Homo-oligomer: A and B are copies of this chain.
């Protein structure tokens, strides 16, 4: 039985984990269009999946709890496609702050927001700054940033990072949930980079996925389940490593 899944545990079991100084991983993601070929929950599913994989990898050495998945992210730039459910930036920020504050009040001191949606990244991190202003310290990351080098090496196509419904995401979905993927509708699209502007990512400029576009940023046609496993292993390994360090870090 999974004894690291917050929502499946009883109050005393969670309290016991707190007493053991458990690290809490909060999967954060979104429900949004993911090209024509992927289901809308890729981002939150992946964040939850790597969180659980890391927890499993660390047990029983390092006590870890995986919080219920926060799928209510910010994706206004995907609203032209049906299926996207987005909060405003303000509501999303408040949701994260309310949840983390509860954990802090219960006595947890090692809390990691583990994000799976690019659009959430900035707001999530801004929320942690505000929490800090209230004396609550929390770590935050987007999962692929933990294995940027490894992913870049494993990727076959031109786009070496996670885009949207891309080679990396599609591969992992093929490995984990092939039945929800429709590869016949997967298309390559490098035309919508994470930013429209040629500055190598230094300038932030949100591309809106307009109705006429593919809703894809990357090349999902190169995806295979095999690569998916490799991507997943790299991410899990690095996440587990970080958790191990985080667990040993003193948070006042």
* Bitwise interface map of A from 107 to 139 toward B, beta carbon under 8 Å scored 1, else 0: 100001000000101110111111011000111
Q: Are A11 and B31 in contact (CB under 8 A)?
A: no
Q: Does A145 contact B (CB under 8 A)?
A: yes
Q: Are B37 and A10 in contact (CB under 8 A)?
A: yes
Instruction: For the complex, give the distance between the alpha carbons of A185 and B11 in Å.
Output: 12
Q: Does A179 contact B (CB under 8 A)?
A: yes
* Bitwise interface map of A from 70 to 110 toward B, beta carbon under 8 Å scored 1, else 0: 11101011010111111111110111001100110111000
| Interface segment out of the listed A1-9, A55-63, A156-164, A225-233 | A1-9
| Nearest B residue to A77, CB-CB | B132
Set of chain B residues within 8 Å of A179, measured between Cβ atoms: 1
Q: A130-B88, A179-B1 are in contact. Are A41 and B8 (CB under 8 A)?
A: yes
Q: Are B72 and A95 in contact (CB under 8 A)?
A: yes
Interface residue tally for chain A (C-beta within 8 Å): 93
Q: Are A72 and B72 in contact (CB under 8 A)?
A: yes
Q: Are A15 and B202 in contact (CB under 8 A)?
A: no
Q: A89-B126, A128-B204, A146-B203 are in contact. Are A10 and B31 (CB under 8 A)?
A: no
Q: Are A137 and B11 in contact (CB under 8 A)?
A: no
Q: Does A68 contact B (CB under 8 A)?
A: yes
What is A's interface to B at a CB cutoff of 8 Å? 1, 6-12, 14-15, 18, 31, 33-41, 44-45, 67-68, 70-72, 74, 76-77, 79, 81-91, 93-95, 98-99, 102-103, 105-107, 112, 119, 121-123, 125-130, 132-133, 137-141, 145-146, 148, 179-180, 182, 185, 196-199, 202-206, 208, 215, 242, 245-246, 249
Known: A70-B72, A85-B102, A89-B127. 10 other contacts (CB 8 A): A8-B180, A10-B37, A11-B82, A11-B84, A15-B83, A74-B129, A90-B94, A91-B98, A137-B205, A140-B203
